[in-house]
Amino acid sequence: MRDLEEVNDLVLTLRSPGRLPVLLVHMRSLASRDAAYIASRKLIGLTHVVTLNHASREALTRAVPGLVVPFGGARLVWSELDVPGPSVPSTQIESSDREVLRDALMPRLAPVSALARGIDNGWRQARKAAQGSARRDADERLRLAQEAADIAGQRDALEMKVDLLEAEVEQTNALAEAFATEVTELQDRSRSVEDLQLQLDYWKGQYLGQYEGESETEGEVDLWEKIPDLVAGGDPTDTFLALTDASESRIVFTEAAERSWKKISYPHPDDMTEALTSLAQAAHELYGGEPVKMGYVDEWFKTAFGLNVSTADDTIEKSKALRYFDYEGQRRDQTPHVKVADAVKPNEVGRIHFAFDKAGGRLIVNHVALKLYGL
C-alpha cells in the first residue's frame, strides 16, 4: 500500500468492528516481502494481509494513534481496534524462513474462524474499491495510448488489465478454496456457536496477557545496546534496521547507503558502527522531542555526541552528481557528512553523508563508506 488515499480507506476498514483481523506488514526487505506473501496465501479466511511502505506506515501511525507497526516487522490488528494485537519484530522476520508470519500467528488465529464471523463486507468493499481504481487507471492508460496511436503503449495497458483480472480470479479461487476447507473442518468438529464464543473469549484473554508481558519485557530492553556491529564488506541491513528502530525512525538509510558499504572493506568497521550509532542518537535528540537549540550545527554535534560533522564542501557543492540524491520522490542534499577518520590512509578516510529532512523529522543517510571524491 503506497497511495495515501488507500491508507484512508484502510483506516475506515480498521475502525469497522465487523471485519476480519488485519495483518499489517512493513515491507523493508526481501524477507519481509516473502513472509507477507506466504501469510497472504496460508492465512486466507483468518486474516487479511496489508503491506506498507515507509510513507503509508507513517501516515497510518498518525491516523490511528497507538497503532504502531514495528519497523521492518508486522502487527496483527484484531477486529476490535482497541484490543492490542501481537507483533513480529524485524529481527525475527530476517532470521527466520518464509513461514515466519504464518507460524507465529496461526496458533492465535486458528480459534477465530472466518465463517463464524460471517462475510467481511467492510474489507470486501475496500478491496473492490482498490481493484476498481486499478482498472480505471489501466483504462485511462489504454485510452491515452489509443489517442496517441501508441501500439506498444496499448499492448502494455492491455497486459496490465489482463494481469489485474488474473489476480482477481486467483484471489477469488483461493478464498473459495479456503472457505471450503473451513466448512469441512467445522463439520468434522461439530462445535456449537456457544463453544466457539467461549474459545474466542478465552484466547482473547490469553492474547492480552501475553501482550502485556511482552510490553513489560520490551520496556526493559535498551535498543541502543542491541545494535549489531558492521562487518567490513558485509551486508549492513541488520545494523541499519536496528538503528532505525532504536531512533524511532528518526534516522533512515537508502539503498545507496547499503550498496556503498558493501562495495568497500573498511578496516575499522567498529569505528563506523560507533559513528552511526552516535548519529542516530543525535537524530533522535534533534527530531524526537522538544525543539533543540542547536546554534552552530558542527559544534552541537561535536559537543553533544562527539561527532565531527561538516555541512559544507566546495567540491561536493559544485557537483550535482555528488551533492544530490532522490529519496521518496524528493531531491535531497547530502553535503552534510560525518568525518569518521581524517589524515589517514586513503582506504581509511571514513565518511557518512546524510541529508536533513526537517519536514519528515529525520536524517536520511545515503553514503556509509569512504570519501566521495579524490581517493
Does residue 182 register a pLDDT over 80?
A: no
Residue type (1 letter), 181: T
**Alpha-carbon distance values, 336 to 176, 267, 350, 367 (Å):** 55, 23, 14, 11
272: nearest Cα among 300, 298, 253, 249: 253
Residue 129 vs residue 113, higher pLDDT: 129
Burial class (CB in 10 A: 0-12, 13-18, 19+), 245: buried
Q: What is the pLDDT of residues 338-357, one digit of tens each?
A: 999 988 999 999 999 999 99
Q: What is the pLDDT of residues 201-259, one digit of tens each?
A: 666 666 666 655 554 444 456 889 989 999 999 999 999 999 999 999 999 999 999 99
Task: Decide: 74 and 24 in contact? Cβ < 8 Å.
Answer: yes
CA separation for the pair 375, 341 (Å, rounded): 14
Instruction: Please state the rounded mean pLDDT for residues 86-115.
Output: 83
For residue 61, count other CB atoms closer than 10 A to its CB.
15
Q: Angle at which helices 297-305 and 269-287 pack, to 10 degrees?
A: 110
**Alpha-carbon distance values, 258 to 16, 230, 253 (Å):** 40, 11, 7
% of the chain exceeding 90 in pLDDT:
46
- What is residue 253's three-state secondary structure? strand
Does residue 262 register a pLDDT over 80?
A: yes
Residue type (1 letter), 81: L
- What is residue 69's three-state secondary structure? coil
pLDDT of residue 4: 73
Instruction: Please state the rounded mean pLDDT for residues 300-327.
Output: 95
Instruction: Please state the rounded mean pLDDT for residues 270-296.
Output: 90
Does residue 54 register a pLDDT over 80?
A: yes
Q: What H or E segment, with its residue span, contains residue 96? A: none
Look at 46-55, 176-185, 226-235 and tell me which has the smallest mean pLDDT.
176-185
Does residue 42 register a pLDDT over 60?
A: yes
* DSSP string for 299-368: HHHHHHH---EES--HHHHT-HHHHEEEETTEEEE---EEES--SS-GGG-EEEEEEEETTTTEEEEEEE
Does residue 133 register a pLDDT over 80?
A: no
- What is residue 195's three-state secondary structure? helix
Query: Can you read off the three cell numbers belonging to residue 110?
Result: 486458528
Does residue 120 register a pLDDT over 60?
A: no
Q: What H or E segment, with its residue span, contains residue 26? A: strand 22-26
